[in-house]
Amino acid sequence: MFSIIPLFLGTSNRTMRFSLLILFSFATLYLTGQSKQYDKLSIQELLDSAERRHEVSDYTMVNELLKKVRSRLDSNSEPRTLYYYHKLLGSNLFEMRNIPGAQKEFHAALKISEKLNDSLNIALVNSELANTLTLQGAYRDALSYYEKALLYFPEKDSQYTNTLMNMSLTYKGLNQYDKALSVLFKGQPYYEGIGDYRSLGTLENNIGEIYRDNIKDLDQANVHYRKAIVANKKANSERGLAQNYHNLANMFLELEKTDSALHYAKLSMRIKEKMGDEGGMASANYILADVYFQQGNHSQAISNFKKSLSLSKKYGLMEGVYYNNIRLGEIYRQQGSLSQGESYLLEAKQIAEGSEDLQIIGESYRLLFQFYKDQGDFENALTYNEKLRIINDSLSELRATQNLDELRTQYESELAKSENQVLREKDKAQNAHIANQKKLIYLAVASIVALLLLAIWLINMLRQRNRALISEQEGKTELEVQHQKLKASELQLQKTTELQNKILSVLGHDLRNPLNNISTLLGTVSDSQLDQDDFTQILGYLKKETDVSQIILQEILAWARLQMDEDGKMLETVKADELLSDIIDIHNHSAREKQIGINIKGAEVEFCADKNQMRSVFSNLLFNAIKYSRKGGQICVDIEEADQQVIFKIIDNGKGINPDVLDNLNKRHRVISEKGTSGERGTGIGLRIVNDFVEAHGGTLQFKNNEDAGATVTVIIPLHQKGSNQTLQLQNQ
């Protein structure tokens, strides 16, 4: 009813203002009538009505009804009535994202159910408490409560399946994505079989989130989000739809389709506003801010991020507090407000360190490292760089030991069962033996106590002796640490200066000539009276020089990022034939202009590499092959697999390579680019980029002239990169 009120605000039309007054009057009378009607109901009838309103997501009315229940409760109220009141209030606060309030009510309900020895309700409340802990990021504590709940539920029961589905979110938080997907897919046939579309919608949404946020398969994520929308519409679940639209907005934001992202973000917010879900508005404001930021509307983005941060703090949503601080810190840093940016990033770091999530701790350290590095504060930058290295090592060890931990847990459980059986069988014999050994035990205990006292005295003596040595050593160690920090800062500054000079040198050398040519051609156009043919020809020259400048700039930037080692290699599984087919499509126009045919031969090979760097390598090499091929020539790309390596050979029948140039190429000396067979100009940086990217992958690059005509360039890349995680390559509101 009240959703139409904003349409009348600010109008000067008296009729519309009068209509608004009437609308408020009717609304007041309606609610007053409803309130009086509920006053006649008993406590149990009020609880039943509140539960029905909760099922249709009318959380505001649920609060009103529960206030009436609370006013009638006293010390003589039935324990079971008190249980249902606390549990229903906790569920309502949970749905409105008031997590601390929900936890308080669930704990009260748990105490009552334990006194009643009601196993079903004990299980239900344990499951609800686990859900609140999952939202707060306390995943290991959440698993403990889920496991307690599963002890009371029968298998293949709806409550048992629901608990497993919620556990999937906890596995997701612990980065155990295979386990999360496994339990989710088990629940699909069960919910479809009983027609529980609300639960099915939640399940499909969670599958989509794992594919989008963790596995990065946006096509699969979209499929499951759409299935979730269908299920939630059948169940008339407004909360489920709001969540689906929110996640679709996230997906389109990752695809840089900001108009679609904005559409779904606003749909989600409208539903949450209608429901009165103030806690849920934290995530709605966050995704809206993200969209506005990507559209370049930074003032609106800051406003929505601050609203989201305020609501996240109010309702104890620590994940929301963390990410809003991160985004605000980044925006203020980009705007040059360094003190504001630093304060938000430091607050995010404190939240991250208080959680169990190593990934967000590492992310906060990485952002602070980059922040201090950009400001030239190398001491703080080195501190967070070292912390980041420790976190990354811990993550690697965690992934390596997860399977081992599971096997060890299973083994210890089986071993304990066997040991208990043996102990039970020997119990009678041991009781008789213990009676005979008591005197020996007392004597042994007395001896142990005496030895302990002697050991304590000796330890105290050693401590007093070592304190002075330790104090002296600590002083020396601190001086050495400060010295090493200073040396590291000086080395970092030197490397940064050298890299800056190197990049400026490359820019000055390679961009000067094409820009001078463009300037000269523009001067010709402005100073001369040209006919149409001359004008068209000059435009062609301008486009050619501009294209060359663009290629130069793109390749220099790619090479500079590698030199700075800011991002490292983004490893994934690359299909060699598909990669080369894509690159050939890009250069087809140039090849057709010279009537050059390009063929790919060889096996279908998959190898581990940074796809963008490999694209740059083969794009440069194919560009050179076309450049130095004669009209009507042929280029052949061979792909082979041998000795755990993939071997690429790009063979042309063009004019070949000058022997002096060939020698310089194979010795990795700088080579001045020569013109192509049709006068094409090179960038002068392409082969250097090719060499650096190939070496970054542990590969080799070879050049040779063919016996008959043309040249052959051979690129050899290992199938597997050292330290790569193949499992993840074949594969967080």
Closest by alpha carbon to 199, among 171, 227, 174, 218?
A: 227
Q: What is the pTM of this model?
A: 0.41
The pLDDT of residue 418: 39
CB environment 417-433: b (16+ within 10 A), e (fewer)? eeeeeeeeeeeeeeeee
The pLDDT of residue 190: 84
pLDDT the model gives residue 511: 61
Q: Residue 318 burial by CB count (10 A; 0-12/13-18/19+): exposed, middle or buried?
A: buried
Q: What is the pLDDT of residue 232?
A: 92
CB 69 within 8 A of CB 92: no
Is residue 271 within 8 Å of residue 236, measured between CB atoms? Answer: no
Say if residues 126 and 118 touch (Cβ distance below 8 Å). Answer: no
pLDDT value of residue 635: 94
- The DSSP line for 1-37 is -GGGGGGTTT---HHHHHHHHHHHHHHHHHHHHHHHH
How do the residues of the chain divide into helix, strand and coil, expressed in percent and rounded to 5? 75, 5, 20
The CA distance from 214 to 177, in Å, is 8
Return the exposure string of 136-156: e unless at least 16 CB atoms fall within 10 Å of the residue's CB, then b: bbbbebbbebbebbbebbeee
List Cβ neighbours of 531 (8 Å cut-off, separation of 6 or more): none
Question: Biggest alpha carbon distance in the chain?
Answer: 122
CA 347 from centroid of its chain's CA atoms? 20
Low-confidence ranges of the chain (pLDDT < 50): 1-33, 402-427, 725-733
Nearby residues of 687 by Cβ (< 8 Å), 6 or more positions away: 620, 624, 665, 671
Rounded Cα distance, 623 and 423, in Å: 77
Measured CA to CA in angstroms, residue 44 lies from 51, 60, 62, 72, 382 at distances of 11, 19, 14, 11, 63
In whole angstroms, what is the distance from residue 468 CA to residue 63 CA?
Answer: 65
Q: If you search the block for the tokens 């607050």, which residue do you land on? A: 347
Contact 122, 110 (CB under 8 A): yes
Nearest CA to 636 out of 719, 489, 626 is that of 626
